[in-house]
Chain A
């Protein structure tokens, strides 16, 4: 096939046992979209097998077929060498397959125990099942570092803990093959490390693990074998030890990708944004920001790192004019109104603040409106968009949108499509085009590359750096530590509504930032991972 790189099949001992999973010629189409094209893969027992690919490459579809969510149009599934039909999830479970979804499938107001036994009860009455599961959880906790309180409610425990419940669910169902879909998206580095230790432990016990991710570092760190998917096809399967991140990225995207943002050193100028003692109390009376101080200079990117829900979103919302706050915020030396009365997005834009919100689908776009309409939201009062006192200059707006879409490489560059019909990455490019093209003094960016594929990530990063190089100030909030590390000129870490510290990217590492993100400032002290996780679960319970 043109453009695909087919590596030699992974060098595995051919005479060893049958593969834990073998897929042969799996194809699946949704209408005209071919999600999986003739996919074959062999996963050997007792290994961690990574599957990597961009969003929409077909990884999740493939795993959904394996877990009985979809029926393949063609192809065969072999489990431990035996041909197996998987018409539904029940069949997958009885074939020994367990799945940990990206979005946990837990019942929020159930206890851990109830979630574990759901669908795996031993009889019509719950009592014996619960007693049995309680024993099993104790055993599994000791065996795999999977400690959870069986009586805790899901809504009261942190995400890391919830993920453990998902793993326990699978193990309780005697799963030998564990599929994890983007498992680290919601975890801190410390929690992710703990997860990987658990996975190593499971592997040592002979379990087979399939790890789906778009994070190259994880693939390099924990997998034995890695398969790369692109546009519904399996383009390569290689031994992890025989490849490197750059090569994998190239296989994923189909062209060379710069993983590190190529940027010149910052040349900071005058202070554009000054924040003093900023406080936000939400409607439940919980203090979300407990008095923070930050500043951003012209020609500089300040990155705010932190686990989601520790106040970063509130900083963006206050500056963007969505949330009222107490304290002082100055833009170019002039104080702005934080009362929430006249401090709407409109007044912020008048002060040359542009905002790429964290949640583009609810705050950045109106999904059922056309691209050309979305391209002017917030700036629709601009006289340039008016034809006369009554009518807007729709033709002019369309033409301008078309031009912006081409400059920002939005695909397809058609102003008449609704926002919904673009992929996540292209939706984000529309928002970025709208905000960055206004050439603001201060750009607020939240999670610029969440759900965006690697090719588009590169593009969006370059646009942000480009604005910085024009001498503008950028405030970046991201839960992706890698993104913060590579984009920011200065890093502030937030935890529980406070700024825990500021670091220069050149003088820190992910470990130190990870500890700060978990609320631990004393980097000298050696903290156990469990302590960090416990600390984190506490605040997440409080914040969430």
Chain B
């Protein structure tokens, strides 16, 4: 394999890892605060739909992005109301949100556009366009580094770069700030936070807000960056894959980057090598495309070492003495 084969694959890896990464970090904030977030998929989907729809109607991808974030926030806060305020079952609330998003996007989409749940094809300012980093032209002819810089590093939409920055930011917030300390504590032992005079409820809601915003950006990227419009069920299980990546990453930001890149890589390989011959046997296309999902199952089955989730995850906080 030469550089000309590898670079497009890595390039695709970055692009398909981006929505995963946003969603994975959203899950990280949520679960670190002690709220299990199985509704990531739904938030991703609804954000994808609203960002694409609003971008199509307004012609501005930025307004679309805001709409996506808004829609995802609404679901996130619904999850918060159900699982923080009313202390409901977080799994059930999450599953309900997934169904809600799946249904709403199709019904509203059909009503608005009459395209069977699709949005119109987006183009121009209604999509996130690739950014060409400075010096691409000049570097293009330099061997090895040139193609890497101009084809792999340069030429992505702004959200791809934002995703990487978000990883660093998440790490910094989590481990270097007071908010991060509180957030990690509330997911481990909310009583310790409560007795220290900090509001468990406010902390968990802030986590839900952050999760909502991040899912919103992820969804917007999916429909207006990666693709050129919304298609029914376009999240295609990415919310769950992100959840698997989160477990694989043991709820740590940099590990999450690595995990999402791995899933992105499998996705890219599956798309690139539709036909692959291994030892004279033709690997079916379906198998290649199923790779990320197979890895998800393997990870969730616990084959990848012991992952200890935040201890208070899934349990509503009840002040009790």
> A-side interface residues toward B, CB under 8 Å?
60-61, 64, 67-70, 88-93, 99, 101, 105-110, 114-115, 117-121, 123-127, 129
Contact status of A64 and B321, CB under 8 A, knowing A117-B181, A118-B196? yes
Nearest chain-A residue to B311 (Cβ)? Answer: A108
Enumerate chain B residues within 8 angstroms of A67, measured Cβ to Cβ.
195
Contact status of A99 and B185, CB under 8 A, knowing A123-B178, A129-B178? no
Given contacts A64-B321, A88-B197, A118-B196, list 7 more A-B pairs with CB under 8 A: A101-B195, A105-B194, A106-B192, A107-B189, A118-B185, A118-B193, A126-B176
> B-side interface residues toward A, CB under 8 Å?
175-182, 184-185, 188-189, 191-198, 311, 319, 321
Nearest chain-A residue to B321 (Cβ)? Answer: A64
Find B181's partner among A90, A93, A126 (CB 8 Å cutoff). Answer: A126
* B188-A125 in contact (CB<8A): no
* B188-A107 in contact (CB<8A): yes
Enumerate chain B residues within 8 angstroms of A127, measured Cβ to Cβ.
176
3 interchain residue pairs of minimum CB distance: A119-B196, A90-B197, A105-B192
Give the A-B contact count at a CB cut-off of 8 A: 75
Alpha-carbon gap, A79 to B180, bound state (A): 34
Contact status of A124 and B178, CB under 8 A, knowing A107-B192, A119-B196? yes
Q: Most chain-A CB neighbours within 10 Å: which of B178, B191, B193, B195?
A: B195
Nearest chain-A residue to B196 (Cβ)? Answer: A119
Alpha-carbon gap, A123 to B311, bound state (A): 27
Enumerate chain B residues within 8 angstroms of A92, measured Cβ to Cβ.
197
Alpha-carbon gap, A117 to B176, bound state (A): 13
Alpha-carbon gap, A416 to B18, bound state (A): 59
* Smallest beta-carbon distance B13→chain A, Å: 32
* A114-B188 in contact (CB<8A): no
Nearest chain-B residue to A103 (Cβ)? Answer: B191
* A99-B189 in contact (CB<8A): no
* A118-B321 in contact (CB<8A): no
* A118-B191 in contact (CB<8A): no
Alpha-carbon gap, A338 to B122, bound state (A): 72
Enumerate chain A residues within 8 angstroms of B185, measured Cβ to Cβ.
107, 110, 114, 118
* Smallest beta-carbon distance B5→chain A, Å: 44
* Smallest beta-carbon distance A162→chain B, Å: 12
Nearest chain-B residue to A60 (Cβ)? Answer: B321
- List, sorted by A's number, 18 A–B pairs whose CB atoms are closer than 8 Å: A67-B195, A70-B321, A90-B197, A91-B197, A93-B197, A106-B192, A107-B189, A114-B185, A118-B181, A119-B182, A119-B196, A119-B197, A119-B198, A121-B181, A125-B176, A126-B175, A126-B176, A126-B180
Q: Most chain-A CB neighbours within 10 Å: which of B175, B176, B197?
A: B197
Alpha-carbon gap, A68 to B198, bound state (A): 12
* Smallest beta-carbon distance B282→chain A, Å: 44
* B181-A114 in contact (CB<8A): yes
* A89-B321 in contact (CB<8A): no
Alpha-carbon gap, A70 to B198, bound state (A): 15
* Smallest beta-carbon distance A473→chain B, Å: 40
* Smallest beta-carbon distance A282→chain B, Å: 16
Enumerate chain B residues within 8 angstroms of A125, measured Cβ to Cβ.
176-178
* A89-B195 in contact (CB<8A): yes
Contact status of A118 and B176, CB under 8 A, knowing A60-B321, A109-B188? no
Enumerate chain A residues within 8 angstroms of B197, measured Cβ to Cβ.
68, 88-93, 119
* B188-A118 in contact (CB<8A): no
Nearest chain-A residue to B197 (Cβ)? Answer: A90
* Smallest beta-carbon distance B179→chain A, Å: 7
Enumerate chain B residues within 8 angstroms of A114, measured Cβ to Cβ.
181, 185
Contact status of A107 and B184, CB under 8 A, knowing A118-B193, A119-B196, A124-B179? yes
* A69-B184 in contact (CB<8A): no
Q: Most chain-B CB neighbours within 10 Å: which of A60, A70, A109?
A: A109
Find B177's partner among A91, A99, A108, A124 (CB 8 Å cutoff). Answer: A124
Alpha-carbon gap, A92 to B196, bound state (A): 10
Nearest chain-A residue to B319 (Cβ)? Answer: A69
Enumerate chain B residues within 8 angstroms of A108, measured Cβ to Cβ.
188-189, 311
Contact status of A121 and B178, CB under 8 A, knowing A107-B184, A108-B188? yes
Alpha-carbon gap, A70 to B176, bound state (A): 33
Nearest chain-B residue to A109 (Cβ)? Answer: B188
Enumerate chain B residues within 8 angstroms of A120, measured Cβ to Cβ.
196
Alpha-carbon gap, A89 to B198, bound state (A): 8
Contact status of A105 and B189, CB under 8 A, knowing A89-B195, A89-B196, A118-B196? yes
Alpha-carbon gap, A108 to B189, bound state (A): 8
* Smallest beta-carbon distance A213→chain B, Å: 17
Enumerate chain B residues within 8 angstroms of A117, measured Cβ to Cβ.
181
Enumerate chain B residues within 8 angstroms of A129, measured Cβ to Cβ.
178
* B177-A126 in contact (CB<8A): yes
Q: Most chain-A CB neighbours within 10 Å: which of B191, B192, B193, B319?
A: B192
* B194-A89 in contact (CB<8A): yes
* Smallest beta-carbon distance A182→chain B, Å: 13
Alpha-carbon gap, A68 to B321, bound state (A): 12
* B178-A115 in contact (CB<8A): no
Contact status of A105 and B191, CB under 8 A, knowing A61-B321, A70-B321, A110-B185? yes
Find A106's partner among B182, B189, B194 (CB 8 Å cutoff). Answer: B189
Alpha-carbon gap, A127 to B172, bound state (A): 12
Alpha-carbon gap, A6 to B180, bound state (A): 51
Enumerate chain B residues within 8 angstroms of A105, measured Cβ to Cβ.
189, 191-192, 194-196
Alpha-carbon gap, A109 to B181, bound state (A): 12
* B177-A119 in contact (CB<8A): no
* Smallest beta-carbon distance B148→chain A, Å: 36
Alpha-carbon gap, A60 to B185, bound state (A): 24
Alpha-carbon gap, A68 to B199, bound state (A): 13
Q: Most chain-B CB neighbours within 10 Å: which of A90, A105, A125?
A: A105
Contact status of A118 and B192, CB under 8 A, knowing A108-B311, A110-B185? yes
* Smallest beta-carbon distance A256→chain B, Å: 31
Alpha-carbon gap, A61 to B320, bound state (A): 10
* Smallest beta-carbon distance B104→chain A, Å: 38
Alpha-carbon gap, A108 to B178, bound state (A): 18
Enumerate chain A residues within 8 angstroms of B192, measured Cβ to Cβ.
105-107, 115, 118
Nearest chain-A residue to B195 (Cβ)? Answer: A105
* A110-B194 in contact (CB<8A): no
Nearest chain-B residue to A104 (Cβ)? Answer: B192
Enumerate chain B residues within 8 angstroms of A115, measured Cβ to Cβ.
192
Enumerate chain B residues within 8 angstroms of A91, measured Cβ to Cβ.
197
Q: Most chain-B CB neighbours within 10 Å: which of A64, A91, A110, A114?
A: A110
